[in-house]
């Protein structure tokens, strides 16, 4: 049955697929589910975040390098991947959609919604996923491309099954479930922080917990926790493949795998749309479909 199941994860930039829901994707690939990553932009306006690679020749060839990094990551995860072809908007601190005109004119986030959603509608109709994942209405965090990624995914989820819309992209296909990634939540962060302290280790979350605006926490929105701890190593290998974006000795890798696996062995999601009946809470993105 798993071979008939298809999952699509829609992400803003190369590397996002490896830091958000990647272990769950690797688990589903292992089960025989077909998994497609749709990458909205090429990360052209990203930075070199790994100081070890912060050299002029890297900056000159950054778009091509990020494409090669994506190829390596998708091989590690075992997923298919498609570029939607838009240009990275760049990072604007404290971005809100009423500031969109401050972004470069060719930015993904400045595209009209129906134009930006069109290649995703086409990909959905070609790949025919039952389940789609993306970011919440705030983009997970306020990055223009993440918010636009959310907007086009909701648009495409609702339009792909409508025979009167995007007629040029073939037969309609209605996905059954839409999820938002909810990996960075208060409950998970506190649990891992406390486990690190109990093990006599410094917690990389200490400063974040002190400064966190807990009024904005979305832990209560989590509906679905997918057990995938045994694939955390695959996730980390895929993340390391994005070498310009991730310091292999940096923040992402300071928590030992065994502590993560014992303390919080799931990837967490919010079920945002469903055309089928399902019972909450869930432990499977395909609950109600198997």
Of the chain, the end-to-end C-alpha distance in Å amounts to 7
In Å, what is the CA distance from 147 to each residue of 18, 95, 121, 143, 163?
A: 18, 10, 18, 6, 27
Question: Does the annotation place 242 within a ligand binding site?
Answer: no
171-208 confidence digits (pLDDT tens): 999 999 999 999 988 899 999 999 999 999 999 999 88
Quote the strand ranges of the chain, DSSP E: 6-11, 34-41, 80-86, 131-134, 177-181, 224-227, 266-274
Are 47 and 29 in contact by the 8 Å Cβ rule? The answer is no
Spans of all domains in the chain: 2-185+219-274
Q: Does 61 appear as a known binding residue?
A: no
The phi, psi pair for 179, rounded to 5°, reads -120, 150
CATH superfamily of 2-185+219-274: LmbE-like (3.40.50.10320)
> What's the pLDDT tens digit per position in 103-139?
999 999 999 999 999 999 999 999 999 999 999 999 9
Q: Does position 1 have pLDDT exceeding 70, yes or no? A: no
pLDDT at 58: 87
DSSP symbols for 84-124: EEEBP----TT--GGGGGGS-TTBGGGS-HHHHHHHHHHHH
247 is an annotated ligand-binding site residue: no
What tokens appear for 139 in the block?
């983009």
């Amino acid at each position: 049955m798993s071979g008939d199941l298809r999952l699509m994860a829609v992400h803003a930039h190369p590397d996002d697929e490896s830091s958000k829901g990647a272990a769950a994707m690797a688990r589903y690939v292992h089960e025989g589910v077909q998994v497609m990553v749709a990458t909205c932009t090429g990360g052209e306006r990203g930075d070199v975040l790994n100081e070890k690679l912060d050299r002029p020749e890297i900056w000159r060839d950054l778009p091509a390098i990020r494409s090669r990094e994506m190829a390596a990551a998708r091989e590690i995860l075992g997923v298919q991947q498609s570029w939607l072809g838009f240009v990275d908007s760049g990072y604007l601190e404290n971005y809100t959609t009423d500031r969109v005109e401050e972004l470069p004119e060719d930015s993904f986030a400045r595209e009209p919604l129906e134009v930006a959603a069109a290649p995703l509608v086409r990909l959905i109709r070609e790949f025919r996923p039952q389940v789609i994942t993306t970011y919440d209405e705030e983009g997970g965090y306020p990055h223009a491309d993440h918010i636009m990624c959310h907007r086009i995914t909701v648009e495409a989820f609702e339009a792909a099954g409508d025979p009167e819309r995007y007629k040029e992209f073939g037969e309609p296909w209605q996905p059954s479930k839409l999820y938002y990634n909810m990996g960075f939540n208060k409950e998970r962060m506190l649990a891992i922080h406390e486990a690190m302290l109990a093990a006599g280790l410094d917690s990389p979350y200490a400063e974040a917990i002190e400064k966190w605006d807990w009024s904005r926490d979305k832990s209560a929105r989590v509906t679905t926790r997918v057990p995938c701890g045994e694939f955390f190593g695959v996730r980390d290998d895929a993340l390391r493949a994005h070498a310009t974006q991730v310091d292999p000795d940096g923040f992402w890798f300071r928590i030992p795998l065994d502590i993560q696996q014992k303390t919080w062995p799931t990837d967490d999601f919010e079920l945002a749309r469903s055309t089928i009946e399902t019972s909450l809470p869930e432990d499977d993105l395909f609950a109600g479909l198997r």
